[in-house]
Amino acid sequence: MKKILYPGKEEWMQILERPENGGEDLDKVCKAVFDEVRRDGDEALRKYTWYFDRVKLERLEVTEEEFQEAESVVDAELKKAIRVAKGNIEEFHKVQIPGKCEYVNERGFRCWQEGRAIDRVGLYVPGGSAPLFSTVLMLAIPAKLAGCREIVICTPPGRDGRVNPAILWTARLCGVTRVFKVGGIQAIAALALGTESVGRVDKIFGPGNRFVMAAKQWVGRYGVAIDMPAGPSELMVVADESARPTFVAADLLSQAEHGPDSQVFLVTCNESLIDRVEEELDKQLDQIPRKAIAEVALRNSKYIVLRSREECVELVNCYAPEHLMLCVKDYLDWVPEIRNAGSVFLGHYSPESAGDYASGTNHTLPTNGYARAYSGVNMDAFMKKVTFQEIMPEGLAYLGKTIEIMADNEKLEAHGNAVRVRNLEFKI
């Protein structure tokens, strides 16, 4: 990790740059894959699954036999852990379910809003070198709580042509029974366009690598929504003299091991902390199986020493990290000042991995600076708000003149007439 001492604010944008994602090349690949999936359907999915994943498949959908096999293969201790996590995630998301809100005007009209589930949702679950069964919990639980009528999962197959058993077992636990062995750009294209096997959905959810992120940003061309742009993982740790270097190093590595395009930062006003964290980082790096992946990610990562707490807050809001850890003694005092972050972890005993798995918050979060405008996945993401209004004759009499004046001034006389004919009917 590169060490940067007391940079001026004019340098911040350059310092905080994300790793390049080859946007133009990705657009060309997305267009080619989407066009072929639209034209050839399942056959294109098989072709690209072989091309990208080196797996030849006849049947794309997971069978009941494969679900049953997963039931027998998944370790009992893991099942117990997943159930504990499921309980916390359910309880936190239940309290987010929106209720009805209503405005009543005593002059004769009322307006209200009610939540409705999105009918068809597609959940993308990363697989490959790190099959994220935890993402099944994060997406399927709120989808079920919202009442979505159709829920399907797409996830890349392993080299054996099968889906990781923990993903299948977790999907069944959450009540999802349709899982497809399709990953990457071709999975997002299938969910957006529909094929013989994979039905078209209304909204696509889930994190992924830069290819998946690029594909999700393409689906708006086909009238399909997405949760947010959620690409390579990122973490910013803000630490003071009370931070423990062992903890901080472990947290940095927990995100660096996600993938070579991940990015982590340590921000502090205590320059001596950097050397202690770096020493600990070297020790722990040698102990993790995904050392090679983490090392590449660390090359995109930085230690930044600033002059004041105020500068630290400003830098955080400028970067808008997916994950933010406040490893400082007065962390609650920082909370009101944090405007741009996907999920925030407070104090020395709130590791980011708790949010990834079991504390109850959702780990599908905006990356690449999108936390300035997007929230992480929550119950609202699986629902839409429908507004209703009921106007009585006396209410329309009260509103009528206002509506007519506004309509006439916008040169939309028919709008005004829709009020006039009613008020004449009731002789108001």
Known binding residues for substrate are 233, 255, 258, 323, 356, 410, 415
Q: Residues near 99 by Cβ (< 8 Å), separated by ≥ 6?
A: 115
Structure tokens at 257: 């091991």
Q: What is the DSSP string of 275-297?
A: HHHHHHHHHHHTT-TTHHHHHHH
Q: What is the DSSP string of 246-282?
A: HHHHHHHHHHHTT-TT-EEEEEES-HHHHHHHHHHHH
Known binding residues are 124, 186, 209, 233, 255, 258, 323, 356, 410, 415
Residue span(s) of the chain under CATH 3.40.50.1980 come to: 23-227, 232-375
Please give the pLDDT value at position 208. 85
Please give the pLDDT value at position 22. 60
Work out whether the CA dihedral 140, 143, 148, 154 comes out positive or negative. Answer: negative
Please give the pLDDT value at position 147. 97
Fold of the CATH domain 232-375? Rossmann fold (3.40.50)
Known binding residues for NAD(+) are 124, 186, 209
Q: What is the pTM of this model?
A: 0.92
The residues annotated as belonging to the active site are: 322-323
Fold of the CATH domain 23-227? Rossmann fold (3.40.50)
Per-residue pLDDT of the chain (428 residues; tens, 9 = 90+): 999 999 999 999 999 998 876 666 888 999 999 999 999 999 999 999 999 889 999 999 999 999 999 999 999 999 999 999 999 999 999 999 988 999 999 999 999 999 999 999 999 999 866 789 999 999 999 999 999 999 999 999 998 999 999 999 999 999 999 999 999 999 999 999 999 999 999 999 998 888 898 999 999 999 999 999 877 899 999 999 999 999 999 999 999 998 898 999 999 999 999 999 999 999 999 999 999 999 999 998 999 999 999 999 999 999 999 999 999 999 999 999 999 999 999 999 999 999 999 999 999 999 999 999 999 999 999 999 999 999 999 999 999 999 999 999 999 999 999 999 998 887 65
Angstrom distance (rounded) from CA 204 to CA 82: 24
